[in-house]
Chains A and B, each alone.
Chain A
Amino acid sequence: MSRRFVSIWFHHLTTDWFSVRQPQLSLLPLVLKMASHGRMIITAANSKAEMEGVNRGMVLADARAVVPDLQILDDIPDLPQKLLTRLAEWCIRFSPLVAIDPPEGLMIDATGCSHLWGGDSHYLTDIERKLKQKGYGVRTAIADTPGVAWAVARYGKHPLVIAPNHHLEALLTLPPESLRLEEEVIDRLHKLGLHQIRQFIGMPRPTLRRRFGSHFMMRLSMALGEEFETIEPVSLPEPYQERLPCMEPIVTATGIEIALRQLLETLCHRLQQEQKGLRVAIFKCYRVDGKIESIEIGTHRPSNHAFHLYKLFEIKLSSIEPALGIELFVLEASKVEDYSPEQGKMWEGSGGLDDVRLSELVDRLGAKIGQEAIHRYVPDEHYWPERSLKPSPTLHEQPETSWPLDRQRPINLLRHPVRIEVTAPIPDYPPMLFRYKGKLHMILKADGPERIEQEWWLQEGQHRDYYRVEDEDGNRYWLFRSGHYDDKNFQWFLHGYFA
Chain B
Amino acid sequence: MAIQRDDILTSLRSDILRMEGLRAVSNPAVDLGLGPICHSFPGGSFPVGAIHEFLSTEAGHAASTDGFIAALLASLMGDKGTALWISASRSIFPPALREFGVQPDRVVFVDLNKEKDILWVMEEALKCSALTSVIGEMKEINFTESRRLQLAVEQSQVTGFLLRKNVGKLNTTACLSRWKITTLPSESIDGLPGIGFPRWKVELLRIRNGRSGMWHLKWVNDRFVPVIQVRDESVERKNVG
Contacts from A to B (Cβ < 8 Å): 350-353, 355-358, 360-362, 364-365, 368-369, 373-379, 385, 388-389, 392, 395, 398-399, 403-405, 408-415, 444-447, 468-470, 472-477, 496-499
Dominant secondary structure at the A interface: mixed
List residues 63-101 of chain B with CB under 8 A from any CB of chain A: 63-64, 66-68, 70, 80-82, 91-100
Q: Is there contact, CB below 8 Å, between A376 and B194?
A: no
Most-contacted residue by chain B among A352, A364, A474, A477 (CB, 10 A):
A474
Enumerate chain B residues within 8 angstroms of A470, measured Cβ to Cβ.
Answer: 185-186, 195
A361 touching B130 in the complex, CB below 8 Å, given contacts A411-B66, A444-B185, A446-B195: yes
Q: Is there contact, CB below 8 Å, between A409 and B93?
A: yes
Contacts from B to A (Cβ < 8 Å): 58-64, 66-68, 70, 80-82, 91-100, 103-113, 117, 120-121, 124-125, 128-132, 182-186, 188, 193-196, 198-200, 219
Q: How far is the CA of A395 from the CA of B125 in the complex (A)?
A: 16
A376 touching B63 in the complex, CB below 8 Å, given contacts A410-B93, A447-B194: no
Enumerate chain B residues within 8 angstroms of A468, measured Cβ to Cβ.
Answer: 194-195
Q: How far is the CA of A388 from the CA of B105 in the complex (A)?
A: 13
Enumerate chain A residues within 8 angstroms of B107, measured Cβ to Cβ.
Answer: 376
A499 touching B67 in the complex, CB below 8 Å, given contacts A357-B129, A375-B111: yes
15 further A-B pairs in the complex, CB-CB below 8 A; given A358-B128, A411-B97: A351-B81, A352-B106, A358-B130, A361-B130, A368-B121, A374-B110, A374-B111, A376-B108, A389-B95, A411-B92, A413-B91, A446-B194, A472-B185, A475-B60, A499-B100
18 contacts between A and B (CB under 8 A): A350-B80, A351-B81, A361-B130, A365-B124, A368-B121, A375-B111, A378-B105, A403-B105, A413-B91, A413-B93, A445-B195, A446-B194, A474-B60, A475-B59, A499-B70, A499-B96, A499-B200, A499-B219
Q: Is there contact, CB below 8 Å, between B110 and A499?
A: no
Closest residue to A469 on the B side, CB-wise?
B195
Q: Is there contact, CB below 8 Å, between B112 and A351?
A: no
Enumerate chain B residues within 8 angstroms of A395, measured Cβ to Cβ.
Answer: 108
Q: Is there contact, CB below 8 Å, between B131 and A358?
A: yes
Q: Is there contact, CB below 8 Å, between A496 and B93?
A: yes
Q: How far is the CA of A358 from the CA of B62 in the complex (A)?
A: 28
Q: How far is the CA of A155 from the CA of B63 in the complex (A)?
A: 86
Enumerate chain B residues within 8 angstroms of A357, measured Cβ to Cβ.
Answer: 128-130
CB distance from A392 to the nearest CB of B (A): 7
Q: Is there contact, CB below 8 Å, between A405 and B98?
A: yes
Enumerate chain A residues within 8 angstroms of B117, measured Cβ to Cβ.
Answer: 369
Most-contacted residue by chain B among A353, A365, A389 (CB, 10 A):
A365
